[in-house]
């Protein structure tokens, strides 16, 4: 005995024809194949809207990849610069008036 599956169907969204066919080994999922003028432009697993079909027909332009350049090293010292000291720089301390004392540490938290 096999699992009953959903039957496929055919419908249109705007100028796009969509054919829904059952996904193999799935009881309820459909593959929605999108066609425009008889030419397959893509497939989806969810019901496509007109904007999804437009995206499949003409995806947005992706800018070209920028090759990695070894000469661009942000935050690094220039060649020939003196080496950095290994010690962390001291944070500037605010000057306290002479009459002010630091609080004494206690065991209370």
Q: What is the pLDDT of residues 14-66, one digit of tens each?
A: 999 999 999 888 888 999 999 999 999 999 999 999 999 999 999 999 988 87
Residue 75 covered by a domain: no
Residue 79 covered by a domain: no
Q: What are phi and psi of 57, to 5 degrees?
A: -70, -45
Half-sphere exposure at residue 84, Cβ-oriented, CA atoms within 13 angstroms: 8
Residue 27 covered by a domain: yes
**pTM for this prediction:** 0.55
Residue 30 covered by a domain: yes
Number of structural domains the chain divides into: 1
Mean pLDDT of 63-73: 73
pLDDT reported for residue 67: 77
Which residues span the domain enclosing 41?
Answer: 9-57
Give residue 17's Cα distance to chain centre.
30
């Amino acid at each position: 005995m096999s699992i009953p599956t959903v039957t496929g169907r055919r419908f249109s969204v705007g100028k796009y024809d969509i054919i829904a066919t059952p996904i193999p080994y799935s009881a309820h999922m459909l593959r929605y194949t999108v066609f425009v003028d008889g030419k397959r432009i893509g497939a989806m697993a969810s019901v496509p809207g007109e904007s999804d079909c437009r995206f499949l027909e003409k995806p947005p332009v992706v800018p070209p990849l920028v090759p990695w350049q070894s000469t661009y090293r942000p935050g690094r010292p220039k060649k020939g610069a003196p080496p950095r000291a290994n010690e962390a720089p001291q944070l500037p301390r605010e000057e306290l008036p002479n009459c002010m004392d630091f609080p004494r540490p206690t065991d209370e938290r």
